[in-house]
Chains A and B, each alone.
Chain A
Amino acid sequence: MFVAWRDLTFAKGRFALMGAVVVLITLLVGLLSGLTAGLARQNVSAVTGLPADRLAFAAPAGGQDLSYADSVVTEAHWRHWARVPGVTRAEPLGITTTRANAGDRSAGVSVFGVLPGSPLAPAGERVEDGTVVLSTAAAGELGVGEGDAVTLAGRELTVAAARGDASFSHTPVVWASLDTWSALAPPAGARDGGPTATVIALDTDRGADLAAGDRAAGTRTVTKDDSLSAIGSYTSENGSLQLMRGFLFAISALVVGAFFTVWTIQRGGDIAVLKALGAPTRRLLADALGQALVLLTGGTLAGTAVAAAAGAALTGSDIPFALTPATVLVPAAVTIALGALGAALSVRRITSVDPLTALGSAR
């Protein structure tokens, strides 16, 4: 690093320019990661926060994909699942989106219907026919608290509690009884007039034969994470944002690689001299890579710090930004790793520099 350090301070302008590019790319990646995670949380936190490890959907006909919008399960389904060995709990869960009103306020909400006293809902013991538990966001939007009245699709209900920050498909969640949920949104697929729900939340242990349970019940069981792809808005939104993030990572690797390609070409004469003087190629490569890592690490840390500061400023605002180690540190690590890869591909041309060119008057 003897020459590399001195190059960094000698060619200040070039390295500062490149460092600024790394800072800006890292800032952009950091902001996009926070926004992606924030939007995802708004979309799926009610599902990911369920105290269950798997969800059973009604098996879609004709090879269609699973969908929360289309799935309808019956009481027979969840009673069957409750008897399957290895399944410790099977709870029906109805999901629908509607409007809630309180006084002159209204808000779009997702109603999650559960059995009274179900552990699926926060303060589930207070969910009864005629009462609802609101997420804090729903309570805030409607301006109501415990004991107040809210109207869901024309039915007046009493707020039993405001708990948790669950949201689904960008709307805050209202936990209601399954009967209330059925009355709000009678499922189109109900056949026998009995109780229905959207999915069954399962708690299982390792011995559970889920495939056999699915075959017998006519359901399809997936993990909570796999079930997220059954939320149409989540799949398209998250896919687009992840694609943008991927492109930003690729662009950062390309930009860093391009810079170090030009830089290596520019100092080709110096490299030839050092090789002619006996410098081992591996030492020259390590020097060049070390230089790239210093630039990348410095730029990425600065960009990440700015992104974290921006994220902290956005926390609590209407912008769904998630500031977590995963949204800050992981993109930074990926930026450094991909940038280093781009630099490594660029500086490997050091190996092909001919020391013979240092002789003569050609330089």
Chain B
Amino acid sequence: MSLELTDITLTYPDGDTRLTALDHVSLDVPRGSVTAVVGPSGSGKSSLLAVAATLVTPDSGTVAVDGTPTTGLSRGELAALRRRSIGIVFQQPNLLPSLTAAEQLQVMAGIDGRSPGRARGRALELLDAVGLADQAGRRPHQLSGGQRQRVNIARALMNDPTVLLVDEPTSALDQERGAAVMDLLTGLTHRRATATVLVTHDRALLTAVDRVAEVHDGRLVLSAPAR
């Protein structure tokens, strides 16, 4: 397994009480597969993604990324784990306005202490993989919504993560572009053997995934292979 969530409970303060966002949730995601997490708004999908991304520490339970338990790691160690083992595809592309498409990817080498200049070749290779080889020099405002989302995906793959966390990747796209993005994600997952978690409310996407986990009121009520 590349991502293992074991018996995760997460609560948030809510006035004088605490709201349970995740209630003893366990989920294993093997490499080379896409697991979709679905459920209604407020069910705990985003909380599950935040815990898997090590951005939130659960009240109890353990998270292991590529066999490394995250319990007890410092903020710096968690950041290092994120940049080396976890790729995040944000719901909004969240591209930096001052950088070109290629530089959005090169910056991932920079934050890992490597030379962004030397990473340009790999950035261009990944942009080519997502069909944007000819857009490498464009800034975000010069790209379409679908192109920005593909840069977002390529950026998540820049440091060769073993875990890919994808948050509502098609919510801002029309059906045709959404389908193209899903094809891209599943193809990359299988080719690069990432353990991909896809959070979505769009059940139309489920035909493209390997497994489906359904969350209701913070509980995982169904985890089954996709039909």
Contact = CB atoms under 8 A, between A and B. Distances in A.
B60 interface: no
B11 to A, nearest CB: 15
B56 interface: yes
A277 B88 contact: yes
B79 A279 contact: yes
A361 B90 CA distance: 9
Nearest to B100: A6
Interface in B45-97: 46, 49-50, 53, 55-56, 75-76, 79-84, 86, 88, 90-92, 94, 96-97
A230 B14 CA distance: 69
Contact of B55 (A7, A270, A356, A363): A356
A330 B83 CA distance: 43
Nearest to B117: A2
Which size class do B's interface residues fall under? 35 or more
Given A278-B83, A278-B84, A360-B46, A3 B94 contact: no
B171 interface: yes
A2 B108 CA distance: 10
A277 B92 contact: no
Contact of B107 (A3, A275, A359, A361): A3
A361 B200 CA distance: 13
Given A11-B98, A359-B49, A278 B92 contact: no
Interface residues of A, number: 26
Given A11-B98, A277-B111, A359 B79 contact: no
A7 B139 CA distance: 12
Contact of B91 (A6, A277, A283, A359): A359
B145 interface: no
Interface string B147-186: 0000000010001000000011001000000000000000
Nearest to A362: B92
A280 B116 CA distance: 16
Contacts of A361: 91-92, 168, 171
Contacts, number: 87
Contact of B88 (A6, A276, A279, A280): A276
A270 B159 CA distance: 19
A196 B49 CA distance: 92
Tell me the dominant secondary structure on chain A's binding face. helix
A277 B54 CA distance: 11
Contacts of B214: none
Interface string B26-57: 00000000000000000000100110010110
A153 to B, nearest CB: 73
A360 B92 CA distance: 8
B99 A6 contact: yes
A270 B106 CA distance: 15
Contact of A280 (B46, B56, B79, B168): B79
B154 to A, nearest CB: 13
B112 interface: yes
A278 B168 CA distance: 20
Contacts of B103: 2, 6
A6 B102 CA distance: 13
A360 B86 CA distance: 17
Interface string B112-125: 11001000000000
Contacts of B79: 275, 278-281
A360 B91 contact: yes
B91 A278 contact: no
Given A278-B82, A360-B91, A7 B98 contact: yes
A241 interface: no
B225 interface: no
A178 B99 CA distance: 77
A294 interface: no
A279 B92 contact: no
A157 interface: no
A355 interface: yes
A265 interface: no
B92 A363 contact: yes
B110 interface: yes
Contacts of B98: 3, 6-7, 9-11
23 contacts: A2-B110, A3-B96, A6-B98, A6-B99, A270-B97, A273-B90, A274-B96, A274-B111, A276-B55, A276-B82, A277-B82, A278-B79, A278-B84, A278-B86, A279-B79, A279-B111, A280-B76, A280-B79, A358-B88, A359-B46, A359-B167, A360-B46, A361-B92
The list of the 6 closest CB pairs from A to B, nearest first, reads A278-B83, A10-B98, A278-B82, A279-B111, A2-B110, A6-B98
Interface of A: 2-3, 6-7, 9-11, 269-270, 273-281, 283, 355-356, 358-361, 363
Given A283-B113, A359-B46, 5 more contacts: A11-B98, A276-B88, A278-B79, A278-B81, A356-B56
